[in-house]
Amino acid sequence: MSIVNRRNAMVGWAVWTVGKQLARRKAKAAVPTIDSETRRPNRAAMVIAAAAAAAVGGLLFWRSRDDGGEDGDGGEPVG
């Protein structure tokens, strides 16, 4: 008796299809929405956006500070 057969393939396909639908529904419910009265994102969306912007800004600042001595001579001028 084989594990891979039509019955198990159909059961697997059905579970996969239903699982994808449930995952989409759950992901859609987790996304912060726009408040219909003020036409602005709710506070959770604003906090997420501010945190992402701060993280990107910090990484860019940190990267620009690291560019000082790429050739390994301690950043001293040549000459």
Q: Residue 66 region, left (φ>0) first, then alpha (ψ -120 to 50), else beta?
A: alpha
Give the pLDDT mean for 13-42: 84
**Measured distance CA(64)–CA(52) in Å, rounded:** 18
Name the pTM for this structure. 0.41
For residue range 54-66, what is the model confidence (pLDDT) as tens digits?
999 998 888 877 6
Range of weakest confidence among 10-19, 24-33, 37-46: 37-46
Range of weakest confidence among 27-31, 40-44, 74-78: 74-78
Q: Please check whether residue 24 is in contact with residue 16, taking contact to mean a CB–CB distance below 8 angstroms.
A: no
For residue 69, give the amino acid letter. G
- Res 43: pLDDT: 72
